[in-house]
Amino acid sequence: MSVSLSDWLRPFISLSCDDRETGEILAECRLSQLADAYPFLYLCWQQSTASSLINGLLVVQAMQRLHWISEAEADAWQGLFARHLLLRFPRWQTWLAELEHEGFSAPRLQQLATADFSAWNQLEQPAESLAALTRRLPEPLRVRSTPMGYALAVRASSFVVYGQPLNDPELLRQRFWPDVQATLNDYWQVHSATDCRQLLYWLCGQGQRYAWQLDFQWLQQASDEDHELWRSELPEGFDGYGDLLETLVELPQLDVAAWDWVRMADLALAGYLAGYLTATEWRSVALVALWLLRSQYQNWQQLRDSYLLGYQLWQTQTSFTLSPELEQTWALLTESPFSPCNQLDWQALSLDHPDFRDAIQHFSARLDDPLLLGCLVASLRDDACLLTGLEPGSLPASRRNDAREYLFAGLDIQAEEGLTTTLARFWQPGRVHHYDQLALNARVGRIPQLPDNLAAVPEVWDAWQQQAPLLADLVKQPAGVVMAEKYAFYLVKALETGHYPETEARQLALALKDYLSWHYPSAMQLLKAWQGWDEVLTLGGEEKPLQAELEWHLKDPGSLFRFLPWKRPPTRFTEPGKPVSEADLATLNLVGPLTGIHWSWPEKLPMGPREELRNLLQETHLFQQEEDLKDYLNHLFQAGDRQEFMIAFSPFTLNPARLDIEIETHEQEERDEEQEAYYQRLLRVKHNTLGINDVDLAAWDMVQLVDLAVAGYQLDWLDDAELLDWLARIRGLITREYHGWADFARALLAGYNFFMNESDNRAELLEVFSQRLLSLLIAVPPQGGLWYTLAWPGERQRDWHQQATALGSARRRLH
């Protein structure tokens, strides 16, 4: 004869017959809310001792009396515990003896000793095993088998929201997380919806795993000395982190992504319960977190191990400790019959589920912000830039001060200058064209042409041959990102200063986004191109390689580059900087070996640097006003130093005997500085040093002319039209006299050597100038070889200049 569950439970109900005893039971178990009670029940079930099972029954009764759970759910729990007791202790006497042995509460034990247990063996005996029994969980205790159910289940580190209505955040908060606001404020430092969203996207796209995994990868390859240096540079309080990470370097990889993505799901629910997120926002973020976890891990065990390893690393960097219940429930994740591991089949969850597609679409839509793309690109050089993009208006004062120090002191940018003008110097279309053409030259095997008075040592040719195959592999990877990523970095730093209007920064960011979206079919293709060019362009060691950071974003499923909406802009779009034609760029870069490369159209100088340049021209050329400059430009174009050579030295090339007499005369006399210069030039004519007698020296004058014309433009003594006119006139002259860059370089080297002032370091200056020429012509290193890739002014476009470069339009515009 069987009895009902309520009759069977009568002796236990008497142990907590009023509200006072109900409160005592919960206080003894240190349970203040439902969120603590569920893990406690899991633990009681798992331990299966006599005292733990009765404690579980008592807590269920207390939860029902406090209306934490419904009567139906309480009955389900009680039925499970009752059958578990019968399975574990078929005779009630054995159970009572075990209670006494375990030191169960004496008053309650005394109550039980006089209770009527005649119904103990009359309740239906469970025939199933314990595992089979738990698979028959009543509906209120089951985790949803939908993707949202899985998303709730990954939060098993704290509690599982069972069959509750999810559209009532107030009810959920009261029953499961009454102190959620304090948790957000104190633990997460979240005080608004903006804070919450910023942190969610950070956890997805970077989190703490980014720094940990980059440190880990570096330590795996570092020497012992580097390890010691790394340890010495760790922030205060990070010694434990250094110890732990160094013990993990033997692992093939540091998998801690679950630490970020489980907390992402946790924070999303907290944000919903606190009123910071809508139900749609919560669901989309939680499902994206689940999708990432499902993409990364093959089973619940892997997820748990990754989370706990991240927790270990986090504990080495903070004094905050998670609750004992949380640690216990994670320890039971793969063992507890109530765990999602036993209720939900991880492999059965399809990554192609429509709920995932909708969630990812909603999650990505919030990233469709041009400013965020720029900040994301900049974050590879400074990872905190990602937070700038997620919320530019809430930067700490220290961040703003650092940015101002970097721009206004480190880069000597003038604060009074407008943002667009300030950043224009970093938009360098010539650099993009150069790299694109460099790759194409390497693919077709174009050999650099050198003048006969300039030889390359074998080491230079070896370097050229080593870099050629690497460059050839990049022929289908546009180099626009090389320019754009640095421009993005300076744009973000300018935004962080708080000195410039955000509206102007957003306009420039939109132009940058259009440029990148035009040149790359996706954000991931952008990263691949960036990785290829970074490998080649950092070989010389002048810049920090970003290979590790780029590889991380290419591999990490949560990288926000994967979620960025990517749409190709219209055919015509505005760029952040000025356009410049290839012919003008080539003419501007006649000065390459003298004053450096022009990668773009020159910019007007702000007041401070402009005054410095004015003073310099006054000291070196005695220019008092713009008319003095213009007169001298005309002199250089019409006569210049080449006229002095034609008058004073060229006749000697026709009369060697007369030249010998002139040299002998000066050898026997005392010579002042001017006479010494004249004497040395006579010797160069006699020995035809660097071919001085065989070339037209207009190259030397035109280089000076370009340099001074650009200076005049920067001082506002020349306008755009006047500078363009001078470039056209110079181009016309040099294309009549020279047949290409090698021919021009031959004349320029001879002229520079001939007219250089006599000094103790003359040989050193000549060597530097020669190396600059060589670099321009042979592209070793690649950053300096602009003459190797630019068409000679006036030269007909050759086949090897077409298609792959940034000069594809009929207008020959670099963009």
Q: What is the pLDDT of residues 483-511, one digit of tens each?
A: 999 999 999 999 999 999 999 999 999 99
Contacts of 270 (CB under 8 A, 6+ apart): 177, 180, 183, 184, 188, 190
| Mean pLDDT to the nearest integer, 662-688 | 90
Q: Please count the other Cβ atoms lying within 10 Å of the Cβ belonging to residue 516.
A: 23
Q: Is the pLDDT of residue 812 over 50?
A: no
Looking at residue 801, its pLDDT comes to 37
More confident residue, 18 or 815: 18
- Which residues make Cβ contacts (< 8 Å) with residue 16, sequence separation at least 6? 22, 25, 58, 61, 62, 65
Q: How far apart are CA 427 and CA 480, in angstroms?
A: 10
- Could you give the angle at which helices 502-519 and 370-378 cross, rounded to 10 degrees? 80
Nearest to 773 by CA among 582, 539, 594: 594
**If we measure between CA atoms, which residue out of 443, 508, 505, 495 comes closest to residue 474?**
443
Q: Worst-scoring range by mean pLDDT, 340-354, 552-566, 638-652?
A: 340-354
Percent of the chain surpassing pLDDT 90: 60
The CA distance from 289 to 604, in Å, is 50
* Residues 446 and 787 sit within 8 Å (Cβ to Cβ): no
Beta partners for residue 450, in sequence order: none
What does the pLDDT read at residue 806?
43
CA atoms within 13 A on the CB side of 380: 27
pLDDT, position 322: 58
CA atoms of 172 and 226, how far apart (whole Å): 51
Which range in 15-29, 317-331, 408-422 is most confidently predicted, on average pLDDT? Answer: 408-422
Q: Is a pLDDT exceeding 70 seen at residue 807? A: no
Beta carbons within 10 angstroms of residue 414's beta carbon? 16
pLDDT, tens digit (0-9, with 9 covering 90-100), for 100-123: 888 888 888 888 888 888 888 888
DSSP 376-424: HHHTTT-TTHHHHHH-GGG--HHHHHHHHIIIIIIS---TTS-HHHHHH
Q: Stretch 272-288: mean pLDDT, rounded?
A: 96
pLDDT confidence tier of residue 161, bands split at 50, 70 and 90: low
**Is there a cis peptide before residue 781, judged by omega within 30 degrees of 0?**
yes
Report the pLDDT value the prediction gives residue 491, as an integer from 0 to 100: 96
pTM: 0.86
Of 70, 35, 283, the closest CA to residue 177 belongs to 35
Q: Which residues of 105-116 are buried (b: 16+ CB within 10 A; e: fewer)?
A: beebbeebeeee
Selected residue with higher pLDDT from 680 and 341: 680
Number of Cβ atoms within 10 Å of the Cβ of 121: 14
Overall average pLDDT of the 440-464 stretch: 93
For the ranges 205-209, 318-322, 432-436, 667-671, the lowest mean pLDDT is seen at 318-322
Q: What is the pLDDT of residue 78?
A: 87
Q: What would the two tokens of residue 227 be?
A: 């390890």
User: Which whole number is the average pLDDT over 784-790?
Assistant: 94
pLDDT tens string 214-231: 999 999 999 999 999 999
Contact by Cβ (8 Å): 194, 201 = no
pLDDT score, position 10: 83
CA distance 709 to 729: 12
Among 115-119, 280-284, 551-555, 574-578, the minimum mean pLDDT is found in: 574-578
Give the chain's mean pLDDT: 88
Please determine, for residue 539, whether its predicted confidence score (pLDDT) is greater than 50. yes
Helical spans, DSSP H, in 425-571? 429-444, 458-472, 480-497, 502-519, 523-537, 547-555
Largest CA distance in the chain: 140
- Cα dihedral 209/212/214/216 (nearest 10): -130
